[in-house]
Amino acid sequence: MHWLCDGGQSGGCPCCEDVLHGSTSESPPRKFAENYGSRANPHIIEYGSNTLKSNAQIAARFSVAPMMDWSDRHCRYFHRLMSCHTLLYTEMVTAPALVRGGAVHLLDYNVEEHPVAVQLGGSDPKELAAAAKLCVERGYDEVNLNVGCPSDRVQSGTFGAVLMRDPCLVADCVAAMKDAAQDIEVTIKCRIGVDDQEPEVILPDFLEKVSAAGINRFTIHARKAWLQGLSPKENRDIPPLDYPLVHRMKTAFPHLHLSINGGITTLNETCAHLDVMDGVMIGRAAYHDPATVLLNADQAIFGDTTPARSAHEAVEAMYPYIEARMAEGIRLHSITRHMLGIFTGRPGARKWRRILSEGATKPGVGVALVAEALSSVPEHIPAD
C-alpha cells in the first residue's frame, strides 16, 4: 500500500491501484464526435456568439465529482454515454505518485471522456507544476487541485482539506500549476473551512488570496471538514451543509466562476442552485443513481434538444466498450460495478444488480451476462 493511501476508508487509493488505464475505444458516445471527435487537444471551442471559453468551463455548469475508486475511466465512459456535456472529474491523482513515483499510467483515459478534468493532490508547488505539465501533455481539459479531502494520510502529507488553513501556500501551488499548464485552466475544489475555522471569515479570505494567483474557478463543497475524529466517509455527511454561505460567495465574488457541491441529488435541485451559482457538482447521487442525475442533464442544464438516451440504451451502448476492454484483459466486474445503480428505483433493479454482482467476477463471463441482466428490467414502465 502506498503511504498516501488511507487504507480504503475513502474508497481506494489512486497511488496503489491501477485505476486509470487508458485507451481509445471504438464506440464513441453519441454526439461526442460532433463536439470533439476530430480534435487532437480540444480544450478550446467556440460557444455562443463570439465568446471563446474552454470546453471545461462551459461544461462546469454541471459536473460529476472526483471520487476515489469510483470515478475511474470505466465509470466516466459510462457517465459520458448518459451526458455529452457534463464535466467529468477523475479520481484524485497525487503529484508525488506522478512525479516521484513515475506512475504516469494513472493519467490514462478514454478519449471519449472529454470534457474531462484531472484532479491532483499535493502541496509542493514545484511538484504540482511538474504534475500539471504531465496532465496537460495528456490532453486533459482542466487541472484541479484537491483542497477538500479530509483523509488522515492526506493530512500527514499536507494534502487536501488541511490546506484550507494555508491559502498563501495554495496560491503558490496554483500559480506554479498555472505556469506549467499554460492555456489549460487550473481550478480548485475546496471546503468552506476545517475544524474550528469560521467559514464566514476564512472562505472569502481563501477565495481572495487564491484568486489573486490567477485562479478564476472554484468548486466549494458546502460543509466543513473535521480533520480529527471523523472518517472521510463521515466527513461527507456529518458536518452540516451551508448552501446560503456558498451562495453569498457568488454575490461577494461575481467575477469568479463558483460551483456548489454537497448533498445535491436531482436536476431540479441543480437548476435551483444554478439560479445563483455558475455550476453544480454532484458526486454520490450521480454514481448511485446515474439515470436520475445524468440521462436528462444535457437537455435540462445545457439546453440540448437531442432526445436523451434511455437507461436501456445507455447500457447497450456499453457493449462495444466492454468487449474492447475485456479483450485487453480487464475483468467484466471492473466495468459493471459502476453500472449497478442505473435502474435504481425501477422494477427489476434488484435482479439486475444481483445478476451482475454475483456473475461478473466469474471466469468466462462477458457482455452476454450484461444482456441477461438487462432482460430482467422492463424497458417500459407500465402506466398506473
Ligand X SMILES: Cc1cc2nc3c(=O)[nH]c(=O)nc-3n(C[C@H](O)[C@H](O)[C@H](O)COP(=O)(O)O)c2cc1C
Which grid cell is 138?
Answer: 495528456
Q: Rule CB under 6 A: say whether 289 interacts with ligand X.
A: no
Name which of 141, 152, 249 is nearest 191 in CA terms: 249
Nearer residue to ligand X within complex by CB, 257 or 370 = 257
Closest residue (Cβ) to ligand X?
283
Helix (H) or strand (E) holding 181: helix 167-181
In sequence order, the β-bridge partners of residue 118 are 143
Distance CA 243, CA 281 (A): 13
Residue with smaller CB distance to ligand X, 220 or 377: 220
Instruction: Quote the cell numbers at residue 368.
Output: 452476454
Decide: 364 and 378 in contact? Cβ < 8 Å.
no
Q: How far is the CB of 80 from ligand X (least distance, A)?
A: 18
Residue 191 sits in the site that holds ligand X (CB under 6 A): no
Among 67, 103, 181, 365, binds ligand X (CB under 6 A): 67
**Residues in region 23-62 near ligand X by CB under 6 A:** none
Distance, in Å, from the CA atom of 351 to the CA atom of 122, rounded to the nearest integer, reads: 42
Smallest gap from residue 161 Cβ to ligand X (A): 9
84, 149, 173, 190: the active-site residue: 149
Tell the smallest beta-carbon distance from residue 251 to ligand X (Å): 22
Nearer to ligand X, 66 or 167 (CB): 66
Q: Which is nearer to ligand X, 92 or 360 (CB)?
A: 92
66 makes contact with ligand X (CB under 6 A): yes
Q: Are 145 and 177 in contact (CB under 8 A)?
A: yes
Contact segment (CB under 6 A) with ligand X among 25-33, 68-76, 177-185, 363-371 equals 68-76
Q: Is the dihedral of CA 297, 46, 27, 119 positive or negative?
A: negative
- Decide: 15 and 149 in contact? Cβ < 8 Å: no
Kindly state whether residue 283 participates in binding ligand X, applying the rule CB under 6 A: yes
Q: Which stretch binds ligand X (CB under 6 A): 50-58, 97-105, 142-150, 333-341?
A: 142-150
* 91 contacts ligand X (rule: CB under 6 A): yes
Number of residues that bind ligand X (CB under 6 A): 25
Nearest to 273 by CA among 131, 74, 62, 52: 62
Smallest separation (angstroms) from ligand X to the CB of 305? 27
Nearest to 70 by CA among 17, 113, 143: 17
Cell of 292: 436520475
Residue 73 makes contact with ligand X by CB under 6 A? no
Name which position in 115, 125, 148, 290 contacts ligand X (CB under 6 A).
148
Q: Which of residues 162-181 bind ligand X (CB under 6 A)?
A: none
- Which residues make up each annotated binding site for FMN? 66-68, 119, 189, 221, 261-263, 283-284
Cell representation of residue 321: 466498450
Residue type, 287: Y
Residue closer to ligand X (CB basis): 66 or 290 = 66
Q: What is the Cα–Cα distance from 339 to 355, expressed in whole angstroms? A: 12
Annotation says 149 is catalytic: yes
**What is d(CA 44, CA 358) in angstroms, rounded to the nearest whole number?**
44
Taking the least distance from each CB to ligand X, the nearer of 10 and 54 is 10
Residues numbered 101 to 130 that lie near ligand X (CB under 6 A) are: 119
x-marked contacts with ligand X along 231-260 as a string, rule CB under 6 A:
-----x------------------------
Q: Let me know: does 71 contact 294? Beta carbons within 8 Å.
A: no
The answer to whether 10 contacts ligand X (rule: CB under 6 A) is yes
CA angle 283/254/180 to nearest 5° reads 65
| Residue of 1, 3, 7, 11 that binds ligand X (CB under 6 A) | 11
Out of 80, 284, 309, 337, which residue is the one contacting ligand X (CB under 6 A)?
284
Within 8 A by CB and 6+ apart from 383, the residues are none
- Provide DSSP, 321-376: HHHHHHHTT--HHHHHTTTGGGGTTSTTHHHHHHHHHHHTTSTT--HHHHHHHHTT
Distance between CA atoms of residues 211 and 82, nearest Å: 33
Binding stretches for ligand X (CB under 6 A)? 10-11, 65-70, 91-92, 119, 146, 148-149, 189, 221, 236, 261-264, 282-285
Point out the residues that are catalytic: 149
